[in-house]
Structure 1
Amino acid sequence: MHAACDVLIVGAGPSGAVAAQEFARSGMRVICLEQGDWPDYSRARHGHPDYELVSRKHWAWNPNDRRGVGDYAVDDTESDISALMYNGVGGSTVLYAAQWERFQPSDFRTHTLDGVGDDWPFDYWDLEPYYEEVERQFAVSGLAGDPALPPAKAPPLPPVPLNKVGRRGAEALNRLGWHWWPGTNAIATADYGPLRACDQRAACPFGCPTGAKASVDRTHWRPLLGKGVRLVVRASVEQVLLDERGRAGGVVYADENGVRHRIEAGVVVLCANALGTPRILFNSADGSGIANSSGMVGRRLMTHPFGNAIGIFDEDLESWRGPIGQYLHSLQFYETDRSRGFVRGAKWNLIPSGAPLSMMLTTTWGDEPIWGESFTRLLRERLGRSVIWGVICEDLPDPDNRVTLNDRPDEHGIPGVSLHYRVSDNTRAMMHWHIDRVSEVLDVMGAKQKILNPIIPGIGWHLMGTAVMGRDPDSSVVAPDGQCHDVPNLYVFDSSIFPTSSGTNPVATIAANALRCARSLVARRRELEVAS
């Protein structure tokens, strides 16, 4: 067999981009298949009268609402939380808020420390040099010396400005004696490579019209196209092909016209996210499934339940401007304290409330009707005068929380997925406790009104855990380096391999771990058994 490439990557999000860059640097021939297309930034029309209306469609976070190229049906009728993602070059970094958080050392040892979840097969210090390296790749801005984190080198860029909102939040936390630190973001605060300095339009999740946010279509894929990497868009992978010895020989994909193509490769790396990766594994072997002798493919779905506390103030805090992103974060109550009635913890972050329609169209502003005679009054009260504390809760792995195939195929006849997910009692207790604490912060900040929103259903940004890594093939899908236990030249590098979710944003760890796994594969590539 003559392979078309040394490595075939499925998915052009952060894990696929970081891996492709590492493979290309080592001289390997790389092809990446992406089911979506390049983002169309001409539709990031910030400054135009129709911007906020247009952004709600083209840059919609839920693929069931967006229905763009590459999107497939995600049935969430049996899920407490809807999955949010972007199918296209850049993956969900195109729409993420770019809050950049390393996992804490305790996140890798939850079983040892707290008797829940599983310990990762490596620790924080094993991943630390990779964190440092990808922070340069992602133009991370921040400030060294955060006392809640292990010592680390400063990010390559200074932090985003605190502005009036951040200063008000920091002063309140100081009075309470609680931790805070300027937010770390994958947002350029000065021109950096292909990125421009952030101008604080609060439009990060809607295509970033400035070009300041480190989405990997900008930071990785454009430069890689000039270095021999081939990226095929509108290529929906249907299944991984196995030879008679059970080795991965390549994939079958459907092009934009639905025509099937077979492409052969020495190694296949899945980077299709925690919904797309099990979707491909389940659908392989003509629907019989592969890499699932453990029965763990699709199981242990984690989504990071999210809530917020909104404060409304008498004075103008200019909260229509800033990064989303985060002005600052707090890890004051991150570690386990069983006296609170739950284990593990949560991260808080302070963000602006945004522009007029971004504020008024949301469903998290309380029970008072928005439309009608109260509209102009509410707009005057809230625009520039409201701030949002976000709370991200650790989501413990549960085998009953899972992804399955459904009978709603995409336009090419490839099955969609269904989510079966319930928020645990531990998470509910955690969320309500933390919302009460950020409510106290709003009081100290001087809010005249508070709106508390524990566990918002439509906020499943962080999808993890459906092809778990571990050393035991009986209880995991992949080895610590991402290699499938059942198929030695099939790898998974995305967040589906995370054993636990932490209580912080996952992209930093997705990127760092993908680099670690890619480097391991490069080091032992001559030992791999490929399809015959």
Structure 2
Amino acid sequence: MKHKPVDVLIIGAGASGAAVAWSLADTRMHILCLDQGDWMKPSEYPSTGRDWEARFYGDYSPSPNIRARPEDYPINEDNSPIKVVNFNGVGGSTVMYTAHWPRLHPSDFRVKTLDGVADDWPIGYDTLVPFFAENDRMMGTSGLSGDPASPLTDPPMPPQPLGKSGAMIGKAMNKLGWHWWPSDTTVATMDYEGRARCINLGHCTPACAQGAKASTDITYWPAALRAGVELRTHCRVREITTNEDGMASGVIFYDKDGVEQFQPAEVVIVACNGVGTPRLLLNSKSERFPDGLANSSGLVGKNLMFHPYAQVYGYVEAPTDSNRAPPTCLWSKEFYETDPSRDFVRGYGIQFGRGAGPVFEAVASEAKGLLPWGADHHRVFRKLNGHRLAASAICEDLPEEHNRVTLDPVLKDSHGIPAPRIDYTISENSRKMMEHGIARAREVLTAAGATDICVNSPILYGGWHLLGTARMGTDPARSVVNEWGRSHDVKNLFIVDGSVFVTSGGVNPTSTIQAIALYIADQMKQRLANLFD
């Protein structure tokens, strides 16, 4: 079945797809977004019931391989110590994320110049500043201005309360003389743009039934739809097609009933994350593009960056905040920038968590040998439950071509489309960084009075951040898209998600991903008259 052509076709309705759709809407072009998932129903979110933690291990697991909803696709990640976590549906992974909201630092765009590793970005932090601010307003951020160790922000809402856990960590950091600051988040601390404030229903992952946590299905998409953007759900795109001139001509997709359809378009924008985007490009082979679309550099799918996480936690005598939202209450950038005295380049951020819910605590404590079975079980559990403090080092992952996404030769999704295969190893630099972060986290928790300190390194299901597999750059031989997101090979094909990252920094990337999407949309609007030159 062939549909009427549209001016702009966006593939993916998550963080970047929603932002670019909203921004382009003021052009009055016919903009259509296809997403393989559906609209979410907050009334069905786990936080509406007592079994929310159990569902975290089942139908709302962050892992698509465990969750296995019809909207998901399988991933072969046998050859990776870190497993992919994402979510498919309107809002994408913003439905499931922890709402932690740092920005990349100015230094993150200049690592080659500053430290002689990886590559510099073709754009700098200052280019993105107005788009960061616009995105903070649209997503509705809460935080405290003036952090001396991070890019300055001006959140529209005050920060989350430090709570019991935050106060303990802050005092411990003060003892050590190390930087800390209340985290910026996208959790509303007051009623904001139709969203109710946080009432601590529980952990922000998975999903927020209150609507206090910003996800693009409740922030960008309502505004984009009012502006005339069209959104179709249950549309799984198989490949991007091209015409005799080598331009993108549209997409072949499967509808809800599994019927193959063709949607023609003048411009195609890919917003499928750092795994889904290379999967789609590599599957869009043709006689003209035998190695996959937009892949003359051979870099599509390569340079995958995950952010290895080292988690350290312990137990204090005083009660903590347990699973109170949001989970990340403080951050530290004490070890973020390169220090020549260390045996690794670049650095990491430290994120401090409030604690864990009772089911997670029971499972994790038993696995670590802290919680016995038998007569002493309840006494020990009461000592552990609601007394946890946690610190995680989010380590910068430098780009390496052998870390990659390819098409699996055997595994396929329910429509017969080849599944992505992940081949990833943690670099020696990242390992040294993690060990340094673990040692520092131990110092913090010890200063807070914690005992029974445990380590998870790397966090197994920690592949939240999918970056670098269709990198940005000015040299077509060393990058997939140019400095404003346009494919070097296909002039009417754009990529706006985390796959365009050149380096990863040491912070959660969603804020930067969306700022880049808004920047690319702005560049497209400025160049409409000669978009295909």
- TM-score band, normalised by shorter chain: over 0.9
Q: Kindly state the Cα deviation for residue 453 of structure 1 after the two structures are TM-superposed.
A: 2.1
User: Do 2:371 and 2:380's aligned partners in 1 also have CA atoms closer than 8 Å?
Assistant: no
| Aligned residue number for residue 260 of structure 1 | 260
Q: 2:313 aligns with which of 290, 310, 314?
A: 310
Alpha carbons of 1:296 and 1:372: their partners in 2 closer, same or farther (altered >3 Å)? farther
Q: Given the superposition, is the C-alpha separation of residues 87 and 470 from structure 1 closer, same or farther in structure 2, using an over 3 Å criterion?
A: same
Q: Deviations over 1:319-364 (max 9, x none)?
A: 332312x211100011111322101111111112232113223489
Q: Distance in 1 between matches of 2:46 and 2:63?
A: 20
Conserved 8 A contact 2:56-2:62: no
- For 1:282 and 1:117, how far apart are their aligned partners in 2? 24
1:267 deviates by 0.3
Q: Which amino acid aligns with 1:382?
A: L
* 1:527 Cα deviation from its structure 2 partner: 1.3
Please give the alpha-carbon distance, in whole angstroms, between the structure 2 residues aligned to 1:299 and 1:224.
33
Indicate whether 1:340 and 2:349 are aligned.
no
2:301 aligned partner: 298
CA distance in 2, matches of 1:410, 1:250: 21
Which residue does 1:456 correspond to in 2? 459
1:411 aligns with 2:414: yes
Q: What's 1:468 paired with?
A: 471
Q: In the superposition, relative to structure 1, how do residues 529 and 321 fare at CA in structure 2: closer, same or farther (>3 Å)?
A: closer
Aligned to 2:133: 132
RMSD of the alignment, in Å?
1.8
- Identify the residue that residue 248 of structure 2 maps to in structure 1: 248
SS of residue in 1 equivalent to 2:264:
strand
Distance 1:510 1:273 in 2: 10
For structure 1, which segment, 400-409 or 48-57, has the greater mean C-alpha deviation from structure 2 after superposition? 48-57
SS at match of 1:341: coil
SS of 1:361 mapped into structure 2: helix
Does residue 102 of the first structure (1) align with residue 103 of the second (2)? yes
Question: What pairs up with 1:168-179 in 2 under 5 angstroms?
Answer: 168-179=168-179
Specify the alignment match of 1:278 in structure 2.
278
Structure-2-length-normalised TM-score: 0.96
In structure 2, the CA distance between the partners of 1:198 and 1:409, relative to structure 1 (3 Å rule), is same
CA displacement at 1:42 relative to structure 2: 2.4
What is the one-letter code of the residue matched to 1:298?
Answer: G
**Unpaired segments of 5 or more residues in structure 2?**
none
- Alpha-carbon deviation of 1:254? 0.8
CA contact (8 A) 1:64 1:73 kept: yes
Q: Is 1:68 aligned with 2:69? A: yes
CA distance in 2, matches of 1:515, 1:343: 31
The 2-side partners of 1:295 and 1:471 are apart by 15
Alignment of 1:195-274 (within 5 A): 195-274=195-274
Does residue 116 (structure 1) correspond to residue 117 (structure 2)? The answer is: yes
Q: Which residue of structure 1 aligns with residue 187 of structure 2?
A: 187
Look up the match of 2:486.
Answer: 483
1:147 partner SS? coil
1:427 aligns to 2:430 (yes or no): yes
The equivalent residue for 2:527 is: 524
Residues 422-469 of structure 1: CA deviation (Å, up to 9, x unaligned): 000100100011110111011111113211222122211001000011
**Aligned mates of 2:228, 2:59 — CA distance in 1:** 31
In the alignment, which of 381, 384, 389 is matched to residue 382 of structure 1?
384
1:37 deviates by: 1.4
Q: Deviations over 1:209-229 (max 9, x none)?
A: 221101101111133223321
After TM superposition, give the deviation of residue 370 of structure 1 in Å: 6.2
Corresponding residue number in structure 2 for 1:167: 167
The DSSP-based 3-state class of the residue aligned with 1:206 is coil
Residue 63 of structure 1 deviates from its aligned partner by 0.2
Displacement after TM superposition at 1:100 (Å)? 0.1
Per mean C-alpha deviation after superposition, the further-off stretch among 338-347 and 358-367 is: 358-367
Distance in 2, Cα, partners of 1:412 & 1:446: 54
User: What letter is aligned with 1:379?
Assistant: F
- 1:151-202 Cα offsets, whole Å, 9 max, x none, are 44x2000000001110111111111111011111011111111321011233
Structure 1 letter corresponding to 2:450 = A
1:15-30 correspondence to structure 2 within 5 Å: 15-30=16-31
Distance 1:364 1:100, change over 3 A: farther
Q: Which residue of the partner structure matches residue 9 of structure 2?
A: 8
**Any idea what SS the aligned residue of 1:167 has?**
helix
Is residue 447 from structure 1 mapped to residue 432 from structure 2 by the alignment?
A: no
| Distance across 1 between alignment mates of 2:256 and 2:380 | 46
Aligned to 1:35: 36
Report the Cα distance in structure 2 between the residues aligned to 1:364 and 1:139, rounded to whole angstroms: 39
Give the whole-Å Cα distance in 2 for the aligned partners of 1:358 and 1:34.
32
